[in-house]
Structure 1
């Protein structure tokens, strides 16, 4: 067997030597064709690069869930926005206007899709471990490459500005309606208090009643804050659900009640808020115990947001970053709403218990306390809603600052393609393959 292989190799070499001129011609022709194609036939391409830095969005968090609402930049930084930004830069909303502005034949524009254009003319890279995004655009001229690269950045900024303004407009519209309702409630509560005072001739409560009012003030303040937080969380949930509906995709449902870690953190937040109310009844706002308890609640909220993000990540690994972010927004709103409602229930239980201690007061004093507390609560809700509404309007008027341009799109000095050396080397390799095939053909005929 070894002898047969030795003879075959020698015979192959003899064929190569005998037909070396033909072999050289085949290799030379293939190499020449590749060179001609690379230098004269293939169109030149130019590449323009833009470097931007992604920032966490500064969207308004009206519900106070700074960590749980991190999905689309509504609060903390549980997830990096860079992958979402890269997907949005390739979207139809960004790419189609660029195609329309290019100097291309009408037929080519009609057949050119955003996905195909992004695949052939764009390369968007996120350097691992950083928040930098590099946008490389290819064009048939230096000016076209620069136009495409700059167009991606401009289109993305316009898209983000519109999305941010739409979200803030939705929030402002919701708050505007709630403000009208809160104003009417406050007016009615004030009128009832005034009417009671005129009827019973009670304008200033007795000393004991005044002490009870001060005692209940912490409950009333916390109740007002939680009610506004509940309304805002509902608005966030409606917004996220609406945006998910536009995705037209079958999305997985997430039930945070199935996660014991999230439930444990939620219960800890409720307990801490109840303890905070008790401290606020005894101390001033700047007391070390109150400050420490507020910091504990903030840390628990951050931990809750992190757990919610990890929980959703585990079930959305196959989805694109935009859908995953919207799901995080929705689950975060649902979690925040559940925590707020649980806290409200606990505070109301303490309120009823404290109200039982007022039974020793006169009926007029008790009614006065009730009416005055109603005014205080509704006034707190109204003031908070107005403040949030004004903040939402300011955010609506602001331009998007989701990315910062580090290096603007450059004008290429020379073509980046085609790669002439690579194409020539490929041509030579093809020639070698053909020559070897020709040698095998001659060998088989000779055998």
Structure 2
């Protein structure tokens, strides 16, 4: 019986609680209204934020002799967030601030930039946040432009090295082929055109092998040169100009709704406090 009495004492009479809240409805409404109003003030006091996006497609040219092109998207994403890409952008966006007051690259990335790669693609998305639509577009536009320029230069440097390596290999292959042909000619001059002799057959195979190696290198070199002249990185979607009325932040409606919910919770707590006092 005692346990049942305790349970009855601990149980909340919702009807009685509701009557208390209704009796104090002016206070309850004021609590909810004040919390909602504070949330609204905060929502409209927070600085506006706009978002612009640019999309880049990357095709790396990390080639070597006998290798095909390879792509390291994670490395390219880090390049897009590097000092070389971002410092010129920071200097232009924050011209109203002294150099020492401008964000460093790390803080700039955290607050104003998002670089992502949709899984299984060669696409890099550059999403920029700005204080104005113009700032957001400028950041996305210039980060993508700087990235494309630096990445293209890196690819050209890689390809130039590969082509130079092919040229050197072809030069050596020509020399070896000429030496094999000369050795064959010397043998024929001394021993005649004896096709059944083992040495003759060996020299013939060597001449053919050197010639085949040379021809294969020429084909690979031509392919590398064609790829060198190709566009290995390109801007797929240019940075868009955000709509001035379409804020990406702050989420004003959400902040106000949270303020309203907090007000309701405080009002409920106030009602429970009165309920306990009246018990």
TM-score range, shorter chain: 0.7 to 0.9
Show the counterpart of 2:218.
Answer: 386
Q: Structure 1's 196 and 433: CA in aligned 2 closer, same or farther, altered over 3 A? A: same
The alpha-carbon deviation at position 45 of structure 1 amounts to 1.2
C-alpha distance 384-367 of structure 1, shift in aligned 2 (>3 A): same
Q: Does the Cα contact within 8 Å between 1:48 and 1:138 map onto a contact in 2?
A: yes
Q: 1:408 to 1:182 in 2, by over 3 A?
A: same
Distance 1:137 1:187 in 2: 60
Using structure 2 for the length normalisation, give the TM-score. Answer: 0.75
Counterpart for residue 128 of structure 2: 137
Which residue does 1:222 correspond to in 2? none
2:40 to 25, 28, 35: 35
Structure 2 residue 54 is matched with structure 1 residue 50 = yes
- Over 3 Å counting, the alpha-carbon distance change for 1:14 and 1:129 in structure 2 is same
1:184 matches 2:175 = yes
Cα distance in 2, alignment partners of residues 184 and 130 from structure 1: 44
2:150 and 2:78 mapped to 1: Cα distance? Answer: 9
Distance 1:102 1:7 in 2: 59
In structure 2, the residue matched to 1:121 is 112
Q: 1:165 to 1:130 in 2, by over 3 A?
A: closer
SS of aligned partner of 1:50:
strand
Q: Which residue of 1 aligns with 2:140?
A: 149
Q: Does 1:409 align with 2:239?
A: yes
Q: What is the distance in 2 between the residues matched to 1:34 and 1:6?
A: 34
**Offset, 1:97:** 5.0
Equivalences for residues 215-230 of structure 1 within 5 A:
none
Matched, 1:169 2:160: yes
Residue 20 (structure 1) aligns with: 25
Superposed, 1:216-295 pairs within 5 Å as none
Number of aligned pairs?
Answer: 269
Alpha-carbon spacing, 1:44–1:174, altered in 2? closer, same or farther (3 Å)? same
Distance in 1 between residues matched to 2:20 and 2:114, nearest whole Å: 48
Structure 1, 411-420 or 392-401: larger mean CA deviation: 392-401
Residue 373 of structure 1 corresponds to 205
Distance, in Å, in 1 between the alignment partners of 2:173 and 2:243 is 63
Query: CA separation of 1:128/1:28 partners in 2, compared to 1, >3 Å: closer, same or farther?
Result: same
Secondary structure of 1:413's partner? coil
For the pair shown, the structure with the greater C-alpha radius of gyration is 2
| 8 A Cα contact 2:89 2:139, kept in partner | yes
> C-alpha distance in 2, partners of 1:430/1:86?
44
Q: In structure 2, what is the Cα distance between the partners aligned to 1:32 and 1:145?
A: 30
Q: Distance in 2 between matches of 1:390 and 1:408?
A: 33
CA RMSD after TM alignment: 3.7
| Long gaps (5+) in structure 2 | none
Cα shift at 1:372: 3.3
Cα-to-partner distance string for 1:233-261 (whole Å, 9 max, x where unaligned):
xxxxxxxxxxxxxxxxxxxxxxxxxxxxx
- 1:111 and 1:15 map into 2 onto residues whose CA distance is 56
Distance in 2 separating the partners of 1:99 and 1:44:
19
Give, in whole Å, the separation in 2 of the partners of 1:369 and 1:169. Answer: 40
CA drift at 1:145: 0.8
The match for 2:257 among 425, 439, 444 is 425
Q: Does 1:439 align with 2:271?
A: yes
Q: Note the C-alpha offset of 1:149.
A: 2.0
Q: CA deviation at 1:133?
A: 6.2
Query: What SS does structure 1 have at the residue aligned with 2:240?
Result: coil
CA distance in 2, matches of 1:94, 1:393: 28
- Aligned equivalents of 1:110 and 1:118: distance in 2? 9
Question: Hey, which of these two has a bigger chunk of helix by percent?
Answer: 1
CA offset at residue 141 of structure 1? 1.0
Change (3 A) 1:32 1:166: same
- When residues 445 and 89 of structure 1 are mapped into structure 2, their CA distance, relative to the original with a 3 A threshold, is farther
